[in-house]
């Protein structure tokens, strides 16, 4: 797309698989150097970062760390600033939850989902502001949200719905406070997106087939690359008037 991002550097949490990998690939093709954060599968993730560097010519590093903890965030930032003097873009993609009836949900269960999905975005974003503000340097934060933050008919998912709802509010709150400092914050809302596990394959999964036929207006699943295209655009000067937006990338499933 040639969005004018060449030479910039980005951190993408949860960046080696699924939506995160699609975001990394598009940014790399735009000339953005990358810190690919991951928590598990080191061989796969390190290979992904190496291959991306070979294919696109950008510099990449893979950093294993749990960004739901302060120690993990510190490790990512230490590695990032060791590799790149300036970080221009932060994509908060890491997160996840699990289904469990609310009546059986323990505080430990609740905290785990909030830490993984909401608190990781807060912790990484605070470190980004600590990096940018003293140097009077702007940047972009993109939070990967979920349609569950806005509307959901899923059951046994209250902890995740709450975490993503909090992340949506965090996105708008940060945008309100940080724009005058030159830090632009937006969020994207993926819908049903093909992932590396192949779960959303209408040819092999009856549930996926039903979604395509009855729920998704576009009649297909989104791709990680399509999510990456939106993220890259939001980080460019072409999107300079898009601030605090929650961009619907759900294929019409929220209509």
Point out the least confidently predicted range of 25-39, 143-157, 227-241: 143-157
- For position 14, which CATH number holds? 3.40.50.720
2 within some domain = no
Q: In 3D, which of 141, 107, 104, 136 has the Cα closest to residue 124?
A: 141
What would the mean pLDDT of 52-81 be, rounded to a whole number? 98
Residue pLDDT, tens place only, 153-204: 678 989 999 999 999 999 999 999 999 999 999 999 998 898 755 566 777 7
Over pLDDT 70: what percentage of the chain?
97
Higher local confidence (pLDDT), 151 or 91: 91
254 within some domain = no
244 within some domain = yes
| Residue 242: pLDDT band with limits 50, 70, 90 | very high
3 within some domain = no
Indicate if 192 belongs to the active site: no
- The residue segments making up the domain with residue 102 are 9-249
Higher local confidence (pLDDT), 196 or 134: 134
Supply the mean pLDDT for the chain: 94
DSSP string, 170-226: HHHHHHHHHGGGTEEEEEEEE-SB--TT--S-TTT-HHHHHIIIII-TTSS-B-HHH
Q: pTM value?
A: 0.96
Q: In 3D, which of 183, 208, 70, 196 has the Cα closest to residue 129?
A: 183
Pick the catalytic residue from 160, 192, 207, 233: 160
Structural domain total, the chain: 1
Per the CB < 8 A criterion, the answer to whether 179 and 225 are in contact is no
């Amino acid at each position: 797309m040639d969005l004018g991002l060449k030479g910039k550097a980005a951190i993408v949490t949860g960046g080696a698989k699924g939506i995160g990998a699609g975001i990394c690939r598009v940014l790399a093709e735009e000339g953005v150097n990358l810190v690919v954060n991951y928590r598990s599968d080191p061989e796969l993730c390190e290979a992904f970062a190496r291959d991306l560097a070979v294919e696109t010519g950008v510099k990449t590093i893979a950093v294993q760390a749990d960004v739901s903890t302060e120690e993990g965030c510190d490790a990512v930032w230490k590695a990032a600033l060791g590799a790149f003097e300036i970080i221009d873009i932060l994509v908060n993609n890491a997160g996840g939850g699990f289904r469990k009836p609310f009546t059986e949900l323990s505080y430990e269960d609740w905290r785990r989902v909030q830490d993984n999905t909401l608190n990781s975005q807060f912790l990484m974003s605070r470190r980004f502001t600590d990096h940018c503000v003293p140097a009077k340097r702007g940047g972009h934060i993109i939070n990967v949200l979920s349609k569950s933050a806005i509307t959901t008919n899923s059951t046994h998912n209250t902890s995740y719905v709450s975490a993503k709802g909090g992340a949506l509010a965090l996105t708008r709150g940060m945008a309100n406070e940080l724009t005058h400092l030159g830090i632009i914050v937006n969020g994207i809302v993926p819908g049903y997106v093909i992932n590396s596990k192949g779960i959303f394959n209408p040819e092999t999964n009856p549930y996926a087939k039903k979604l395509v036929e009855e729920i998704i207006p576009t009649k297909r699943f989104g791709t990680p690359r399509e999510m990456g295209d939106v993220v890259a655009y939001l980080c460019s000067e072409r999107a300079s008037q898009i601030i605090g937006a929650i961009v619907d990338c759900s294929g019409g499933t929220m209509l």
